[in-house]
A and B are shown apart, each in its own frame.
Chain A
Amino acid sequence: MTRTWRPPVAWGLLVPGLAVLLFAYAAPMLWVLRMAFNRFIGGGGIEITFTVDSFADVFTDPYYLRVAWTTVKLGLLVSVVTVIVAYPLSLFLVRTTSRFRGLLTILAIAPMLVSSVARTYGWMVVLGNQGLLNSVLKGLGLTDTPVQLANQFSGVVIALVQIFLPYAVLAMTSGFGRLDDTLEQAAASLGAGRITRFLRVTLPLTLPGVLTGLLLVFVLSISAYVTPRLIGGGRVFVLASEIYDQATNQLNWPLAAALSLVLVVVFGVAVTVFGLLQRRVERWVSGR
């Protein structure tokens, strides 16, 4: 981590990027921040003023606290399940010596080529009461009444896990760089069986990748809008859909802005916590 001197021209190269960031990111965010302190007048009117009414609404109304909790719960559940599902796949892709490795990796991330809207509709077809899954269960005589999966929380989790799986695989395969066959061979030569090798060597060394995967999927999940909206049956209220409702249906822009800032804070907390955790873990597995 040596500091290198950069010639001024390098800073010049940053100007277009900074300009885009300022224009497309900083300016709208400041606008959102300002909007959150305006007052909402029924029927869509907005009074330009300075009040914390919207924040008071958000923090005193149990409904919004519940929405925020649902959002975080969804993020945690989806990220943990996705990473558990993606882990063996990523490990296989990193370790395989097959000449089809490139192809397999492309196959693993190929679902990203299909938009998440299309994949969500796909899951509705699979999980619906007349859907593939229930038809199979019925055909096998395992159930008479359809298992309710679509139009509720569990359906959202299932669909999001599948939708974010490629992201997790990408993040984890690139984060598994410390994995080295000879380390496991060394452990084996010292008497460690398959499970011990996994627990004491593979798992610790892949932890940085796991954390990256968790963070990525968590952030994607708590900002997911389309999938909770489409497959949630109108029952699953998350911050993203609540922001949309407040902004476009209720026209309560100050409240939508306040909720947006809450989401930003959730993002910030997640990124900070994971960042600290990751730094510790990275130090730990790097042997420094």
Chain B
Amino acid sequence: MRKEYPGAQAPAVDGVDLRVRQGEMLALLGPSGCGKTTTLRMVAGLVEPTAGTITVAGRDVTQVPVHRRGMGMVFQSFALLPHLSVAGNVAFGLDMRKLPAAEKKRRVAEILDRVQLGHLAQRRIGQLSGGQQQRVALARALVVDPSVLLLDEPLSALDAKLRESLRTEIREMQLSSGTTAVFVTHDQDEALSMADRVAVMDAGRVAQIGTPQEIYENPADVFVATFIGRANLLDGVLGTSGVDVPGLGTLPVTTSRPPGPVTALLRPQAVQLLDSPSSQGFAGNVRSASYTGDQITYRIDAAGHTFEVDTVATGAPLDRGAAVRIAWEPAAVKVLPPRNAT
């Protein structure tokens, strides 16, 4: 799929090819301007693709206008109709489908109960809190049994606490209704915790698609590795016995990549801090420490590199300048394409 905006220098979406499985929740994750929202709006029918097709259950819907696509959409701003009540908003889609009044009433009551808003059915929209509005928007999109549920940054207008509880709520609603869902977010935690699969997007392309675990543990490139979680990146050259990194010698790795310049990835959790009198690993000094209660993250200078190291907090953090040794399992080192190539 491709979308070019007239006057823009580069296409907003450039060759995105995604397959969403029945009943799964797919997250489109990426920094702002990566094309994730445009992709979602093309699926919804709000933006016309310059090229490419959109297929739902084998049917090509590319030319089907938005109001006939039968999808449900939750907007970032919720887009609730202010002149209608909570029930009025939820019933809107059912009105369009010309459902009998009794059936309509039953389904509205049912879905409002499921989002725990049954008692607020007659409220005006302006009288609801942000979280309640969010749930109305979700109920409104789901009540019509959409073929696909589309969520555009559904939680970004809410505060942090509310966001976390609603994450679970949305996910449970989606699972229980079995609706296929696509949601757009720039928040990696949100993507990793809610989605069955995550598509990481960068500059109009899908950089990697996979389960949260795959994405985290085996990122396809440096962009994905740094966008999802933190990373120690070591530039080196891949040879027959491992990656040759200046200052660290040759690190043994498992990879199918051809020899040549590469970037090695080492997650902070994979690095271990050893007791001083040891000959293993590399010697280094603590540069700084940040204490977060259950965990201490050190920045350690060793062999001409600065490593980020996560440790479980046991007592006071080490002093700045303290001599330490660091080491890791060889399997923890992942080989990525060299970073200037991406």
Contact = CB atoms under 8 A, between A and B. Distances in A.
Interface stretch (A23-31, A121-129, A181-189, A216-224): A181-189
B81 interface: yes
Given A191-B68, A193-B67, A288-B127, A185 B75 contact: yes
Contacts of B80: 186, 287
Name A's interface SS: helix
A180 interface: yes
A286 B126 contact: yes
B82 A190 contact: no
Contacts of B73: 185-186, 189
A83 interface: no
B126 A189 contact: no
Contacts of A190: 67, 72, 92-93, 96, 140-141, 144
Nearest to A207: B83
Contacts of A287: 80, 82-83, 124-127
A285 interface: yes
Interface residues of A, number: 24
B82 A189 contact: no
Interface in B57-104: 65-73, 75, 77, 79-83, 92-93, 96-97
Nearest to A194: B67
B79 A205 contact: no
B79 A192 contact: no
Given A186-B73, A190-B96, A191-B93, A285 B83 contact: yes
Q: Name the residue in B44, B66, B81, B125 with the highest tally of chain A Cβ atoms < 10 Å from its Cβ.
A: B81
B144 A191 contact: yes
B162 interface: no
B41 to A, nearest CB: 9
Interface string A150-186: 0000000000000000000000000000101011011
Interface string A265-288: 000000000000000000011111
Contact of B81 (A187, A188, A193): A187
A185 B79 contact: yes
A288 B124 contact: yes
A196 interface: yes
B313 interface: no
Interface in B137-160: 140-141, 144, 150
B70 A204 contact: no
Contacts of B150: 189
A176 B214 CA distance: 49
A259 to B, nearest CB: 41
B46 A183 contact: no
A284 B82 CA distance: 8
Interface residues of B, number: 31
A186 B124 CA distance: 18
Given A191-B96, A191-B97, A196-B96, A185 B46 contact: yes
A112 interface: no
A201 interface: yes
Contacts of B144: 190-191
Interface in A194-212: 196-197, 200-201, 204-205
Given A188-B46, A190-B140, A204 B72 contact: no
A246 to B, nearest CB: 47
B77 A182 contact: yes
B72 A183 contact: no
A185 B80 CA distance: 11
B96 A189 contact: no
A287 B141 CA distance: 19
Q: Name the residue in A191, A197, A284, A288 with the highest tally of chain B Cβ atoms < 10 Å from its Cβ.
A: A191
Contacts of B81: 183, 186-187, 200-201
B22 to A, nearest CB: 21
A204 B82 CA distance: 10
A196 B66 CA distance: 13
Given A190-B96, A191-B93, A204 B79 contact: no
Nearest to A203: B83
Contact of A186 (B69, B70, B79): B79
Contacts of A183: 79, 81-82
B37 to A, nearest CB: 12
Interface of A: 178, 180, 182-183, 185-193, 196-197, 200-201, 204-205, 284-288
Given A189-B44, A204-B83, 5 more contacts: A185-B73, A190-B96, A200-B81, A287-B83, A288-B127
Interface of B: 44-46, 65-73, 75, 77, 79-83, 92-93, 96-97, 124-127, 140-141, 144, 150
30 contacts: A180-B79, A182-B75, A182-B77, A182-B79, A185-B79, A186-B73, A186-B79, A188-B45, A188-B65, A188-B66, A189-B44, A189-B46, A189-B66, A189-B69, A189-B71, A189-B72, A189-B73, A190-B67, A190-B96, A191-B70, A191-B93, A191-B144, A193-B65, A193-B67, A200-B81, A204-B83, A285-B82, A287-B124, A287-B126, A288-B126
Of all A-B residue pairs in the complex, the 7 with the closest CB atoms, nearest first, are A287-B82, A191-B96, A287-B126, A190-B93, A186-B79, A287-B125, A288-B126
